[in-house]
Amino acid sequence: MKITTTATLGFPRMGPNRELKFALEKHWKGSLTEVDLIKVSEDVETMGWKLQKEAGIDLITVGDMYLYDCVLFWIESLGIVPHRFENLAAGTTRMFSMARGVDGAEAL
């Protein structure tokens, strides 16, 4: 009979070799498409789940993976985008613009 249950409340989301960080930088420079960026993100997330499973973690958190920032993700998801960014297309472009700023609109 098992006496304890192990759980994680989150897991580092950049990857063991900072794969997501480097993919983000390439995307911002224009040398990596959004589709490829999301693929890297999914691969890092899957790798994290696998590592936790192999470590014997009983309860593995899901839904905590964000391309850049969880607050920006929820701002975008809930539609509470500041007026200065409303003219930008919804999605990662606007989310990254809120994070980094864009012509005429300071970053959050």
Domain boundaries, the chain: 1-65, 68-108
CA distance 96 to 69: 9
pTM of the model: 0.83
CB atoms within 10 A of CB 33: 11
pLDDT in tens, 24-35: 999 999 999 999
Confidence band of 2 (pLDDT split at 50, 70, 90): confident
pLDDT of residue 1: 76
Which residue type, as a one-letter code, is found at position 90?
A
Angle at 91 between CA 86 and CA 94, to 5 degrees: 45
- pLDDT cut 90: percent of the chain above it: 76
pLDDT in tens, 55-88: 999 999 888 888 888 899 999 999 999 999 999 9
* Distant-in-sequence contacts of 64-69, Cβ < 8 A, 24+ apart: 64/10, 64/11, 64/13, 65/13, 65/41, 66/13, 67/20, 67/24, 67/37, 67/38, 67/41, 67/92, 67/95, 68/24, 68/95, 68/96, 68/99, 69/95, 69/99
- Write out the two tokens for 44: 């890092």
